[in-house]
Amino acid sequence: MKILEDRILRDGQVLGHDVLKVDNFLNHQVDPMLMEEIGKEFHRLFKNEKITKVLTVESSGIAPAIFTGLAFGVPVVFARKHKSVTLKDELYTSVVYSYTKKTSNHIAISKRFLNEDDRVLVVDDFLANGQAVKGLIDIIDQANASLAGIGIVIEKTFQKGRQLIDKEGIHVESLARIKAFEDGKVVFVNDEEA
């Protein structure tokens, strides 16, 4: 998605060899006009999938997920992160390991907001090692809902997440695909490689 790639080149900051900081338009300050375009693009890509719900995880998935839900006209549910979960009866829970933070978080959503009639589009800000997406898929399975696809705003193709999802034969769409950070600069996968 050209406007997203341009924005990453303009405002993204490469940290170390594998992290992109995008707090100017996605992770802290949010550009709603860009989020609206992202929502419309996910709608274009998944419009034949009969989506009934958009699922993400707090907090940085919420902005693109809301605009995706708006484009589809369906509710958005975000999994909440907890250090531990005690009252499990009312909740679907899973554990997500973060390679960047080197910690595990429990994620949970209320059983009231996901059920077997749902066809779910998972939306997240980044796909890195795929652990967040894996946790959300686990929750969808527990609810006996069906996974319609995964929409990722920024994918880092040099990390393991995409491989993990492709193995399962899931429909994944990423709006910007980064193949490397070279000398502090972002290098995208070009169209021929995609």
Q: Which stretch binds ligand 5GP (CB under 6 A): 32-40, 105-113, 121-129, 186-194?
A: 121-129
| Whole-number Å distance between alpha carbons of 136 and 141 | 9
Among 53, 131, 145, 150, binds ligand 5GP (CB under 6 A): 131
Q: At 175, phi and psi to the nearest 5?
A: -85, -25
| Count of residues interacting with ligand 5GP (CB under 6 A) | 19
| Whole-number Å distance between alpha carbons of 129 and 110 | 26
| Binding of residue 22 to ligand 5GP (CB under 6 A) | yes
| Residue reference for tokens 């009312």 | 90
Among 122, 132, 148, 153, binds ligand 5GP (CB under 6 A): 132
Q: Which is nearer to ligand 5GP, 114 or 153 (CB)?
A: 153
We find the least distance from the C-beta atom of residue 50 to ligand 5GP, in angstroms, to be 25
